[in-house]
Amino acid sequence: MTRPEWAPEDIDISVPNAARMYDYSLGGFHNFAVDREMVERVVSMSPNARQIGLANRAFLGRAVRRLVASGVRQFLDVGSGIPTLASVHEVAQQADPEARVMYVDIDPVAVAHGRAILAGNPNAEVMLGDVRRPDDIVRDPAVSGLLDFTEPVAVMLIAVLHFVPDADDPAGIVRRFREAVKPGSYIALSHGSPPPQHEEDAAKVSTVYQRTSTPLHLRSGEEIGRLLDGLEIVEPGVVPVTDWHPDDTGVEPRPEVLAAVGRKP
């Protein structure tokens, strides 16, 4: 397997990664052959996989626009992947060029490309970090240098917590982010969930992800709702990503991924 010139030397290009797989699904170019092959394998088992990814990205855009409309001007996007193709800074800064965005991802390739993409943007940065270590993230000088935690912050946990096993306490992760931000802040998340009519397909996809560096842990709507304990879940609650304030009623529902936004009272 030939290493692309842009790939850092310490990255194992033989192991697929969720961030790069997502980039490929969205039509991006920051991925390896092994990522593309794994996506095609997932699509062969779940033909709607690409539509699910696009629906998730569309939810992200709607959530960011509504948060900006609510007065939020700071975003901490954890598990962001590669910040391209209608990412948080593009949506937020289109509404307000002064909006500030800190991206955090565990994949060095995503971070390296993020830095290249964001070069020259003083209000958006990217750093290496692990969602399982929220205290390390919020205390990092790069984060505190860009975001002011005395003002509301929106923490974006988009399609990342389903890569966190129960043993790593995903509810505790959300709690620590909630404790780190001031009242009036928000936490937005989307999370894979096995719809009853497609449980067999979901199980097959989960098996495929076990072969990647980011195994998949699907959760029910009730379990996802509990992740936001201590927050006021805004309407319409925990719903399929396509049902969260849709701007196109003709979109086919995507119950494979649920979404919710919580406000810290």
In DSSP notation, 8-59 reads: -TTS-TTS--HHHHHHHHTT-S---HHHHHHHHHHHHH-TTHHHHHHHHHHH
Q: Report the distance separating Cα 188 and Cα 263, nearest Å.
A: 9
Residue 211 pLDDT more than 90? no
Position 19 scores a pLDDT of 74
Q: Extract the tokens encoding 202.
A: 């979901």
Token look-up 């990814």 returns 53
Average pLDDT of the residues of the chain: 87
14 Cβ contact list (under 8 Å, min separation 6): 1, 34
Q: For 17, what's the count of Cα atoms within 13 Å in the CB-facing half-sphere?
A: 20
Residue 212 pLDDT more than 60? no
Q: Extract the tokens encoding 64.
A: 């960011």
Q: What are phi and psi of 104, to 5 degrees?
A: -135, 130
Residue 160 pLDDT more than 80? yes
Q: Of the given ranges (31-45, 158-172, 223-237), which has the lowest mean pLDDT?
A: 31-45
Q: Extract the tokens encoding 152.
A: 């509301």
Q: Of the given ranges (13-17, 145-149, 193-197, 204-208), which has the lowest mean pLDDT?
A: 204-208
Residue 173 pLDDT more than 90? yes
- Interhelix angle 18-25/108-118, rounded to 10 degrees, is 50
